[in-house]
Amino acid sequence: MAKTRSIKKIAVLTSGGDSPGMNAAIRAVTRKAIFNGLDMVGIQRGFQGLIEEDFVDFGARSVSDTIQRGGTILRTARSEEFRTEAGQKKAASICRKHGIDAVVVIGGDGSYRGALALSHEGIAVMGLPGTIDLDIASTEYTIGFDTAVNTALEAIDKIRDTSSSHERCSIVEVMGRNAGYIALWCGVASGAEDILLPEKYDHDEQEIINHIIESRKIGKTHHLIINAEGIGHSTSMARRIEAATGMETRATILGYMQRGGAPTCKDRYYASIMGAMAVDLLAQGKANRVIGYHHGEFTDFDVDEALAMEKQIPEYQYEIARALSI
Ligand code: F6P
């Protein structure tokens, strides 16, 4: 585990897609740092803001009235410049210029890779898992997933009501470009007949069509399909399914509503604990770690170790989804 010099000033940034609970994490990092006697700075617009010195001095009051808000008060951006070695060196020299000893990066795997690059330039980093996608291998929990699935589920329940009244097939597209966790959880929790995950879908639409026909024979009057964004094409899929089955089929793409909104209690709580923990690890002289949640415990790993881990959709849970939809 990398050791670092003693920490006097910490910066925090959010990077990549925003997620509900990021503000709770920013607040926890800020308040715990100030509580521990450290200086705090907020970096706006992620790594791009770091390169552009888009900084705000943070006091305890800077994060008042934010724990319940969705989005990120620090805003977020993707930075092409930071992807280059020159950009990373510039970012590190800006940290040194401002006396920033450590940067807490809240985001997904891409943000962790950015944090790792910064650590190679001599700046201590800590990563907090912020993504609605739950697709970070080093943790069983990511900040924002709980809110996103509850937001999606509320919408799906409403679609299900009208789908049932009209005896229709409904395809609901949820977020997840590369990861099907939102689709899996929402599919199981909404009692969907079919769940299409980017990790598993073999594009055999005939199988879905056959499933609809069989389900109607055994008395099902409506059919709910949860489709992940990574598979997409929900509208054209609906047209083809309607033509093949004769069942009226509608597609709804939930989109960015899943990324916004007030975080759930779980997202606020976990984000708060993780944010505080990042500061305490830095205060203990640890660096270049990412915080996670594993087997009921908050954990931390070296960032490069975390990035080398792999995560797979749990096969058994996916099988259960199929069994429960008979
Ligand atoms: O990573 C979160 C996420 O919402 C994914 O589910 C989605 O594929 C992606 O972000 C969309 O990102 P963008 O903001 O670039 O459209």
Pocket perturbation via mutation, ligand 1, pick of 177, 182, 226, 231 by most ligand atoms within 8 A of CB: 177
Q: List ligand 1's pocket residues with C-beta within 6 A.
A: 17, 108, 131-133, 175-177, 229, 259
What is the structure's pLDDT at 209?
Answer: 97
Mean pLDDT of the chain: 96
In which band, very low, low, confident or very high, does the pLDDT at 166 lie, cut at 50, 70 and 90? very high
Which atom of ligand 1 approaches the CA of 132 most closely?
2
Q: Give CA–CA dist 115/107, Å, rounded.
A: 10
pLDDT, tens digit (0-9, with 9 covering 90-100), for 9-36: 999 999 999 999 999 999 999 999 999 9
pLDDT, tens digit (0-9, with 9 covering 90-100), for 92-136: 999 999 999 999 999 999 999 999 999 999 999 999 999 999 999
DSSP-assigned beta bridge partners for residue 143: 130
pTM, whole model, 2 decimals? 0.96
Catalytic residue list: 133
The answer for residues whose C-beta is within 8 angstroms of residue 214's C-beta and 6 or more apart is none
What is the structure's pLDDT at 5?
Answer: 58
Asked whether residue 208 carries a pLDDT value surpassing 90, the answer given is: yes
Asked whether residue 4 carries a pLDDT value surpassing 80, the answer given is: no
Strand pairing class (194-196; 102-107): unpaired
Q: Which domains does the chain have, with CATH numbers?
A: 9-144+263-308 (3.40.50.450), 148-259 (3.40.50.460)
Q: Within 13 Å, how many C-alpha atoms sit on residue 286's CB side? A: 17
Pocket perturbation via mutation, ligand 1, pick of 133, 135, 142, 181 by most ligand atoms within 8 A of CB: 133
What is the structure's pLDDT at 2?
Answer: 46
In which band, very low, low, confident or very high, does the pLDDT at 78 lie, cut at 50, 70 and 90? confident
Question: Which residue is closest in CA terms to ligand 1's atom 10?
Answer: 17
Backbone angles phi, psi at 279, to 5 degrees: -65, -45
| Spacing, Cα 229 to ligand 1 middle (Å) | 9
